[in-house]
């Protein structure tokens, strides 16, 4: 029997995931409006349960946000700084609400609700843009890939906590194909590196899972491959994405520009300028969004942006989130939910890799991932 409480948990989690998904592509849904929507959900949760849970990770990121507010005293462009501060405030709201949902509600209802909310948001993107049947104009491939990455994590967690894994596995393969089709190099490589890392740390568990589900995986892959091959538009997108993944691996190996990708040297120059500027004020940094204020663009690397803008204080606080989550993973190594813990580890490595090739320190899918992971590890 499904209880009224489970329906409420499902609905609230679905609403949160839907907001996170549509923020990736609905330009009118800016950070201020997102903050109002998240605040409304948080108020509803307090009315229903009378409390929220503020986890260690929320405290760490709140300290990071507080430090950014202090930095307004010396930042170069306070208006530009709000491009980071408002999303960072939303990051805290998602962390608090997400952890509260994961720990105070039925966990399976929360994950299924989040997955349905994501699917509704992703369906809205397909209807509005035509992706992946066509490549939209002004396609923000990294943002859309991040949205699908959030969905992939939800699908894998659903499968890890469910007795019937066929639907979750099929959905995970479909979402992965969408991520490949975005041609986002850092997202696809991040998934590959995260999967390999999780496999190495859980080699026995992964071997057993693959052996038990080998026939099912082969059937799924063959069916989806046939579906992709039968549609020229989707086949073109997936082929382009696969080529970009191969190109990304080659760029990491050669560390130079290659045909089809000419941004490596620009990124290397941004990193040199970022480190050079950081050395001028290594502890406190130059202020929020100061790199963008000076160069007209971010460094395309979280660690470089954080060092230049917020110094050692800022980078320690942000990457302290990952340290805290990995500490939870270590503490829960003998606990339950082994498959879910494997997903958390792989996704953590994936996001860490992505942070070195993109600015993800305030993106909401990362916050939602942290929130669910904290709930899973504390329950486990």
Q: How far is 100 from 107, CA to CA, in rounded Å? A: 11
Query: To 10 degrees, the CA torsion angle through 265, 267, 272, 277?
Result: 150
pLDDT of residue 78: 93
Q: Tokens for 138?
A: 């002004």
Question: Percent of the chain at pLDDT above 70?
Answer: 83
List the beta bridge partners of residue 261.
258
Q: Is residue 334 within 8 Å of residue 275, measured between CB atoms?
A: no
Q: What's residue 234's pLDDT?
A: 61
At residue 258, φ and ψ (nearest 5 deg) are -135, 160
DSSP, res 296 = S
**pLDDT computed for residue 266 by the predictor:** 77
Instruction: Say how many domains are in the chain.
Output: 1
pLDDT for the residue numbered 48: 82
Give the residue from 273, 243, 239, 274 showing the smallest Cα distance to 261.
243
95 is in which domain, residue-wise?
4-379
The C-alpha R_g of the chain, in whole angstroms, comes to: 20
- pLDDT band at 343; cut points 50, 70, 90: very high
Quick one: CA dihedral 318, 321, 327, 329, positive or negative?
A: negative
Mean pLDDT (whole number) for 256-283: 77
Of 297, 243, 245, 305, give the one whose Cα is nearest residue 271. 305
**What does the alpha-carbon distance between residue 116 and residue 308 come to, in Å, rounded to a whole number?**
39
The CB-side HSE value for 329 (13 A sphere, CA atoms) comes to 23
**Is the pLDDT higher at 50 or at 249?**
50
- Is 50 exceeded by the pLDDT of residue 260? no
Per-residue pLDDT, 257: 47
Residue-wise pLDDT for 31-75, tens only, equals 999 999 999 999 999 988 888 999 999 999 999 999 999 999 999
Q: What are the Cα distances from residue 235, in Å, to 61, 133, 172, 178, 224?
A: 41, 9, 18, 11, 11
pLDDT tens string 83-141? 999 999 999 999 999 999 999 988 999 999 999 999 999 999 999 988 887 778 778 88
As given in the structure block, the two tokens for residue 131 are: 């992706």
Average pLDDT over residues 172-191: 87
pLDDT of residue 227: 64
On the CB side of 157, CA atoms within 13 Å amount to 31
Please report, rounded to a whole number, the percentage of residues in the chain having pLDDT higher than 90. 56
* Non-local CB neighbours of 108 within 8 Å, separated by 6+ positions: 161, 162
Least confident of 89-103, 241-255, 350-364: 241-255
Name the 3-class secondary structure at 230: coil
* Over residues 179-189, mean pLDDT: 86
pLDDT at 23: 93
Residue among 36, 30, 34 at smallest CA distance from 18:
34
- Which tokens hold the place of 337? 């939910």
216-226 pLDDT per residue, tens = 667 766 766 67
The pLDDT score that the predictor gives to residue 288 is: 95
User: Among 253-267, 291-305, 324-338, where is mean pLDDT lowest?
Assistant: 253-267
Average pLDDT across the chain, whole number: 86
Residue 290: pLDDT band with limits 50, 70, 90: very high
Separation of alpha carbons 268 and 301, rounded Å: 10
CA distance 23 to 144: 10
pLDDT bucket at 235, cuts 50 / 70 / 90:
low
What's 107-165 look like in SS3? HHHHHHHHHHHHHHHHHHHHHHHCCCCCCCCCCCHHHHHHHHHHHHHHHHHHHHHCCCC
What distance in Å separates the CA atoms of residue 15 and residue 13, rounded to the nearest whole number? 5
Residue 262 is encoded by which pair of tokens? 């000419």
What phi, psi does 345 have (nearest 5°)? -65, -50
- What SS3 class is residue 357? coil
Q: How open is the CA angle 268-273-278, to the nearest 5 degrees?
A: 125
Better pLDDT: 2 or 251:
2
Answer yes or no: is pLDDT of 263 > 70.
Answer: no
Q: Using CA atoms, how far apart are residues 174 and 179, in angstroms rounded to an integer?
A: 9
């Amino acid at each position: 029997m499904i209880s009224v409480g489970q329906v409420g948990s499902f609905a609230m989690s679905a609403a949160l995931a839907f907001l996170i998904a549509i923020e990736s592509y609905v330009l009118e849904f800016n950070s201020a409006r997102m903050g109002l929507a998240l605040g409304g959900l948080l108020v509803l949760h307090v009315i229903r349960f009378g409390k929220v849970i503020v986890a260690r990770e929320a405290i760490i990121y709140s300290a990071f946000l507080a430090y950014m507010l202090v930095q307004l005293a010396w930042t170069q462009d306070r208006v530009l700084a709000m491009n980071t501060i408002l999303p960072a405030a939303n990051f805290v709201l998602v962390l608090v609400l997400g952890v509260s949902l994961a720990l105070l509600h039925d966990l399976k209802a929360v994950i299924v609700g989040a997955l349905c909310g994501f699917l509704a948001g992703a369906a809205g993107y397909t209807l509005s843009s035509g992706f992946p049947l066509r490549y939209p104009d002004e396609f923000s491939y990294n943002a859309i890939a991040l949205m699908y990455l959030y969905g992939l994590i939800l699908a894998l967690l659903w499968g890890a906590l469910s007795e019937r894994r066929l639907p979750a596995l099929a959905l995970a393969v479909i979402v992965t194909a969408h991520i490949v089709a975005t041609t986002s190099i850092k997202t696809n490589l991040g998934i590959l590196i995260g999967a390999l890392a999780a496999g190495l740390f859980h080699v026995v568990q992964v071997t057993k899972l693959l052996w038990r589900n080998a026939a099912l995986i082969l059937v799924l892959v063959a069916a989806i491959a046939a579906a992709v091959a039968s549609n020229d538009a989707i086949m073109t997108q997936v082929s382009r994405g696969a080529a970009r993944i191969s190109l990304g691996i080659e760029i990491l190996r050669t560390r130079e520009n290659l045909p089809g990708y000419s941004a490596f040297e620009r990124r290397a120059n941004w990193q040199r300028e970022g480190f050079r500027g950081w050395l001028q004020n290594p502890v406190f940094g130059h202020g929020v969004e100061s790199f963008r204020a000076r160069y007209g663009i971010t460094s395309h690397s979280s660690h470089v942006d954080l060092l230049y803008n917020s110094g050692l204080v800022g980078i320690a606080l942000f990457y302290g989130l990952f340290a805290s989550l990995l500490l939870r993973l270590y503490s829960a190594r003998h606990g339950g939910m082994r498959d879910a813990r494997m997903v958390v580890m792989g996704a953590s490595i994936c996001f860490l890799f992505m942070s070195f090739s993109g600015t993800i320190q305030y993106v909401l899918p990362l916050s939602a991932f942290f929130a669910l992971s904290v709930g899973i590890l504390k329950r486990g």
